[in-house]
Each structure stands twice: as C-alpha cells, then as structure tokens.
Chains A and B, each alone.
Chain A
C-alpha cells in the first residue's frame, strides 16, 4: 500500500460519495461510512511502517513526493479515526437536511486533504493540500448560510493571509536551495545564516499560528466553530485546527531535524521561547473569556484556542530547552485534546439534534435524565479537558508541568495551571447548565439520542479513559516522533514514567481510586436507605411552587464577571474589526469617485486636461 494509493482512495471516495448521493441517499451514507472506515483499517495496518515515494508528475518541473513515518502515521490515524466517527455521527444529524451529498463529499474531501498534508514530503504538495483543506473548510463552515457566511468569510480571509505567508516562504526556500523536498531543505538549512533561519521560522510561524489560532491570530476561530454544522465542528476543532501543530513540528524538523534539540542556533531558541510565551498567553486569556460565554459551542470554541496554547507551550518550550518531556507532552496533548473536544461537540450536537438546535446554555438544563449517554460523554470530555486523574488530559498536562517546573520556568507553569482553573469554572458551567439542574417543562419528554450518535460518543469516552490509564500506548509512537526530531528518547512505561526526579504511575492511581471508591460505595450502601423524590417536592417542602424555571443558571458567575469584565475584552478582535471598518470607509471614499456614470468620468478627464493646460500656460514646464 503506497501513499498515493491511499490518497487516491480518500479523494476518489469523496467524489464517489457525491455521485452515489445522486442515486440514493442510503447508498451515499453507506459509501461514506465504508470509505472512512476503510481508511482507518488501512492506517491501522500500516502501524510502524516507513514508506517513501516519489511521484514524478513534473508539476512546474518539481517532483511531488510522499512519505509515511512516525509523525505522519500519528496524525493520520487520528485524522481518519475522528473523521470516521464524525461521519457516523452525521448519519442522523444531517438526515433530512438539504445539500447532504455536498456535505458528505466535502467532509471526506477535508479528511483526504488533511491526509495529503501529513503524507506529503515536499512543500509544493504540502501547499496544494493545505489550500484544498482551507477551501473545503470554508465551504463547510458557511454550510448553514446567514451568520455562517460571515464566519466563513472571516475564516477564509485569515487563512489566505496565512497561505500567502507560507507561499512567500516556500518561494524563498526554492530560490535559495533549488529544492522543495523537506529532508533536503532540512540539511541545507543547517548551514544557512541565522537570520535566514529566523525568517523561515517567522514566515511559517504566521501560517501555522493562524491555523492553530495562537493569540493574536485567533479571531477566526470562535465564530467558525459556533456556526459550522456540529459534526464538522468536531472535525474542525479536533484535527483540522491542529494541522498547525503538525506544521510547527515540521518546521522544527526543518530547522533542526539533523542536529536535534541540542546545538540549535540561538535564533531558533529565541523563536521557540517567544512561541512558548505566546502559548502561555493563549492558555490564560481565552479560558477566562470562555467563562463569559452563554452559547455552548462558543464556550467550547474558546477552549479550542486555550487548549491549543498548551500544545504550543509544550512544543515551543520543549524545543527551546531541548526537553523531550515537554515536547512529548505537547504532542500528546494534541491527541488528547482532539479526543475530548470531538466528544464534547458531539455531546452538544446530540442535544441540539433533540431540542431542535438549542445551544443556549441559559435555556437548557437537567438533560442528564433524558440523555444519559451524552451526559457521560460530556462529563468525560470535560474531565479530560481539565485533566482530572485517570483521564488522558492528565498525563499530557503532568508531563508539561513537570518539565516547566524542573527546568526552572515556574511562571509558564503558573499560566498553564491557572488556565486549568479557568477551564474548570467554564466547563462546569457548560455541564451544569446543560445536563444538571432543573429540567425545563418542554424537555420533559425528550427522547434519548439515537444509536449512531451514542456509538461515537461511547468510543471516544472509552478512549479518554484508556489513554488516561495506559498512556504508554500513544506515548510509544510519540517517543518515535521525538527521536525523529532529534530529541532524546523518554523512559516510557505502559502506565507512565520512571525517573529520578519524580515518577508517574497511573496504575497505582487507578488502583487507589478504584479500591477507595469501592469502600466508600459499600459504606454508602450499608447506610439507611434513601428515597428518590421530585426536586420541587423537597425544595418547597410540599407547598405549591409555580411550574417555572427558578434554578440559578443564567449569569452563573456574575460576581466574578462584574470584577473581570473590563479586562476580558477581545482586544485583538476589536482591533481587526476597527481595521476592517477603516478599510471599508476608505474604500467607500474611493467608490464615491468611481460613480459608474460615464458623464462624471468625462468630467474627470476634462478637468484633468484643463488643469494640465492651465499649468502649461502659467509655468510652461514642458
């Protein structure tokens, strides 16, 4: 199985799905699921294989070339698995909507483009697939039209700025080294001047920073996440945005792959320190802004930015200090976050599906009784985001914290830790306002979510716990990525780390928590029985209470907001909006000259000639 065959299946599948959709919708659904599952199977079989393939197509005289190694396998398996789960989830979510053929083929196309990005081994194919991904994403974000069109426009403008930066970088590299093959560039850059290396880092940093939504390049993200169809939001937040992380790994390889974490030029180190601090900023501010949100998807979207900060912090810091623990933590967090956020968006989508698109946190509540599976998914998802012990997020965060503290950067560690508290507050609000508390009268008879929605939620929930208890499974692959980047290998066991400066043993933790919970449960069970009563029964002590919402959910953190609100403005977004406003104004002024009326153009010409004649008569310059 060579890489271009895989890509052929992926892209061909996308087109076939569209054609099948014209025949029958059942056939189309079946084909979409089959193709996405086939890709999962293919990549599962390719575990641990290395492939390298040049594809002589002579594009502008350049060879396209593909490769499969540890890093591309790691990202590819995540892309295809999460993609397949989202397609399965879409089956019911998208039923009875318009333009579903288009939707499915675009979903598959986005997945195929992402596969192309991680499989390509030269920058020209990388760029082609990158653009393909951006445009498909734009189409899918604007799928719902109305407000979604604005969100899509915002996305594509930011995205184009990134692409242009990347294209400039690629051209410059081609002019300098006369090749676009990534390994060759890497070896050429090792001898390039430090200033040029910094230029490459910054120009690609802008491109990948926009995709990964690092502050201050994050403004496209909240609206896009909120307005895109929910199953696609899952893909968008889970893997697509994280192509930026892949990009950062790639430039790390390009500028230092041959020499590794030690002996990097000082400019590279400085760049990565700046990146780490930007990551820290990206953790703190968005997680606190997330607390202000009342829209479930907006709230999660701000966490999409915030958690991206952890990845950038881990990777930037790991490179800057040649610390494989932080680097591996950053990469591992990419996977963990992807699993958790896809789970959370699916949980929101399940609620949206049953309530007719409601995602306003203030009007929901008490849904745990009606949709237990979606609740469990949301609970494990937020636990992973917070990083509660025995979930996957805990291990990756532990790795980063330990590296930051032992390398002597407590302030970065503080940013990461306080970000966790911001996360707790906002995701608790999310869970509480949606699933706990009082069940509104109109949702008393809601049905539970259909099987095709429960299945992906169940799979992802078990992944959260599995990788939390046995982090060694993914860490083994991540370890290979670290050695590929030239970093030292970690001492990974199946349940954690052994080292002199502090070990992690998830097995002990699991045993302790399970045994203690069992003991507590027995105690609980032996005590006198309890009876389940209706909520208002107890609250009003039997007296009549009006059938109304009296639960305190709206303005959940009001006292804190009144203190923080002045500080929690999205200054960057306001700046961009102001910029766009002034550009629009000046364009409006220019438009006033171009009236479109032939008469006025003639007037301009006559006036211009008259002034020339006047000048000639008066001063005789010609």
Chain B
C-alpha cells in the first residue's frame, strides 16, 4: 500500500524531472548544432523558480481554471503510462482513456487562452487545433494499428506482449506505424518545423503571450510533461517499454535527441504546408500498416 502511494506521488515528479531535463537539453543541443554556446542545462529550473515568485496578470477565473485543468490532465495521463515496471493506474481503461485524457491539456490551454482575448492567442489556438487535427489522423491510425495487432486496449498488455516477441518496431506492419509515429512526433511536441502555434517571431508565442509568473510556470510544467508523455508512449508501444526505469529513460533520451536534430535543422512550415505533409507521408504509412494488420487478422 505504502509502495503504491509512493508510486502515485513520486512518478509524476520523476516524469516532471525528465521533462524539464529535456527542455534544458533541447536548448543546449539546438544551440550547439547552430554553433552557439547555449544556456546551462538547469536554465529551465532557474526560470521556473523565478516564475513561482513573480507577480503576474490575470484575465478572470477561466484564465486560471483552464490552465489548472490542462496541467491536471497531463499529470493524470502520466499516471496511466507504464514507466519501466511502474504504472499506478494500469487497470482503469487503457489506451482509449489515455487518448481522451490527453485532450484535457490542449482543451485547457485553449479555454484559458480564450479568456485572454488577445488576437495572438486566438491565432495560436486556431493553428494549434488545426495542427492537432493534422497529426491526429496518422496518430489515431497508429494507435488503432497497435490495438488491433495486439487485440487489447491496455498499454501494459502491449508492453508485456513485446517482452515475448520482441519490439513492435522490428516487426513488419508495426514498423510502418512506428516510422509514422516518429514522423509526426515533432508536430505533437510542437517542435520545428511544426511550431506554427507558438511561433515566437510571428505571433509572440501564441497561446503563451498573456502568461506571466505562475501562469507561465504552469504552462512550462505542462509542456515538460507533454514531452514526457508523447515520447514515453512511443517507447512503450514500439520500443518494448523497459524492465527498469533507467533503460526506459535511455530509450526516451535517444528518441528525443533524434527529434531535436530535426528541430535544430529545419525552418518553420506554414500551417497548410504542415497539414499537407502530415496528411501525406505519415498518414500513408500509418494507413498501410493498419490495412496490413487488418488483413492479417481476418
């Protein structure tokens, strides 16, 4: 019982630590690739402590409630994802619930930003939702392929199945889905070339523009957790999860660095270019994977 409670408390903190580490790493690696020195790795931590003690402006109750909802949603998703052998909420609805709880984060930000009533925010949210529609098409196809292939909706069972038959990404139909997931990962994380919704030079960071102090703190935590969630899901579904947290972390790190290389090298796409890309190659691959799996099943 005590062990379970400890899992509930410590796991989100570990996830947060990893996410924040990734934020720092992202800035550092991008800087090194672009021949800059870059800020220290702990810069995000320093920023977050500063945000906590800084005064801020608010635009009403929904402004705060939306953000709280968004952050709470992200933390709950973390509890559903197996991390090594740790998974506090394994038996409460599986991947379908994860899929839906993941909606709370963007919806919360959208609500909160809506109350902000800044034109940059609404442009940012509009772009974010369109982009989400763009990557959800391949993403849903990928998840359906995995669920159909293993005939389960539980992530834990997907991980266990891979322990016996090897990583999903090494088998043929799921290889296509895995590649598709990797191709849309930058869009899901909001990294270049898909950072249209938070483009700093164009729309002053979009949904974040009105946030300061504790609001920005929560938005940063939310972003850090998003990095953790999307990559951990990939590791669980395609790289066989892991028996212990250390291996799991190493796998996550490798995937993240791959995404960073793309982030550092590519310029930003316009929104319709992004959609066109997302609905072309990743969707085609994911669809091919799903068709093969469905035919193989029947």
Contacts and interface: CB of A to CB of B under 8 A. Distances in A.
A83 to B, nearest CB: 31
B100 A405 contact: no
Nearest to B51: A527
Interface stretch (B24-32, B104-112, B180-188): B104-112
Contacts of B272: 559-560, 562-563
A422 B57 CA distance: 33
Contacts of A379: 111
B122 A528 contact: no
B275 A563 contact: yes
A512 B123 contact: no
Interface in B76-90: 76, 79, 89
Interface string A529-555: 111110100110000000000111100
A529 B52 CA distance: 10
A532 B53 contact: no
Contacts of B79: 512
B117 A535 contact: yes
A530 B55 CA distance: 6
A425 B298 contact: no
A292 to B, nearest CB: 13
Contacts of B62: 368, 436
Contacts of B271: 559
Contact of B136 (A398, A413, A418, A513): A418
A405 to B, nearest CB: 5
Interface stretch (A95-103, A306-314, A459-467, A500-508): A500-508
Contacts of A519: 75
Contacts of A425: 129-130, 133
Contacts of B89: 508, 512
Say whether chain A's binding surface is mostly helix, strand, loop, or mixed: helix
A190 interface: no
Contacts of B218: 520, 524
Contacts of A552: 119, 122-123, 126
B94 interface: yes
Interface string A421-433: 1101100100110
Interface in B45-89: 51-60, 62, 64, 67-69, 71-73, 75-76, 79, 89
Nearest to B151: A406
Nearest to A525: B214
A320 B235 CA distance: 36
A527 to B, nearest CB: 4
Contacts of B58: 530-533
B217 interface: yes
Interface stretch (B35-43, B141-149, B241-249, B260-268): B141-149
Contact of A389 (B97, B133, B213): B97
B187 to A, nearest CB: 14
Contact of B104 (A389, A408, A559): A389
A402 interface: yes
Contact of A527 (B103, B136, B217): B217
A535 B129 contact: no
A527 B76 CA distance: 22
Interface string B115-156: 111110011011101101100110011001101100111100
A321 to B, nearest CB: 13
Given A432-B110, A502-B94, A535-B118, A406 B153 contact: yes
Interface residues of B, number: 79
Contacts of B294: 408, 410-411
B201 interface: no
Contact of A559 (B75, B103, B110, B130): B130
Contact of B133 (A512, A528, A560): A560
A559 B275 CA distance: 10
B55 A538 contact: no
Contacts of A171: none
Contact of A538 (B57, B60, B72, B75): B57
Contact of A513 (B76, B127, B154, B275): B76
A556 interface: yes
Given A425-B130, A513-B76, A520-B72, A503 B118 contact: no
B91 interface: yes
Given A424-B107, A425-B133, A531-B57, A504 B117 contact: no
B193 interface: no
Nearest to A365: B117
B97 A509 contact: yes
Contacts of B116: 535
B93 interface: yes
A530 B92 contact: no
A429 to B, nearest CB: 9
Given A520-B75, A556-B122, A559-B271, A408 B148 contact: yes
B133 A369 contact: no
B130 A394 contact: no
A402 B122 contact: no
Given A388-B103, A528-B214, A411 B122 contact: no
Contact of B122 (A421, A503, A520, A553): A553
A227 to B, nearest CB: 29
A387 interface: yes
Interface in B249-298: 271-272, 275-276, 290, 293-294, 297-298
Given A431-B111, A563-B275, 20 more contacts: A386-B107, A388-B104, A402-B153, A417-B144, A421-B133, A424-B103, A425-B129, A436-B114, A437-B114, A502-B96, A502-B154, A508-B92, A512-B76, A516-B76, A520-B68, A528-B52, A557-B129, A559-B272, A560-B130, A562-B272
Interface of B: 12, 51-60, 62, 64, 67-69, 71-73, 75-76, 79, 89, 91-94, 96-97, 99-101, 103-104, 107, 110-111, 114-119, 122-123, 125-127, 129-130, 132-133, 136-137, 140-141, 144-145, 147-148, 151-154, 210, 213-215, 217-218, 271-272, 275-276, 290, 293-294, 297-298
| 7 closest residue pairs by CB, A with B | A436-B114, A527-B214, A410-B144, A517-B72, A530-B58, A508-B92, A552-B122
